Amino acid sequence: MSILIYIIFGALVGWVASMIMGGANGLLIDIIVGMIGASLGGWIMDYFGKSGVTGFNIYSFLVALLGAVVLIAVVRALRRS
């Protein structure tokens, strides 16, 4: 994927994850959360023997969304302690 597709994909995933987790972030934060979430989701799925992000498709979106939600939850837990 080109870098522009990564940015669009990251923004979309980050925005949906922030809506699920109940937070309002800016576009830059959503992009960062989405891109890191895609990497984290890929690592989590690899740990369970499944493929990670494979392109711009529904499966990859769900994997990235899983990672982004986990990332937001971990960051919130660390902020509270």
Q: For residue range 42-73, what is the model confidence (pLDDT) as tens digits?
A: 899 999 998 887 888 899 899 999 999 999 99
Average pLDDT over residues 16-32: 85
* Sequence ranges of the domains in the chain: 3-80
User: Taking Cα atoms as reference points, which of 38, 33, 46, 35 lies closest to residue 63?
Assistant: 38
| DSSP annotation of 55 | S
- Say if CB 21 and CB 72 are below 8 A apart: yes
Q: Which two tokens stand for residue 27?
A: 């576009």
Split at pLDDT 50, 70, 90, the class of 1 is low
- This prediction has a pTM of 0.85
**Cβ neighbour number for residue 77 with a 10 Å cutoff:** 9
Q: Which two tokens stand for residue 62?
A: 């769900």
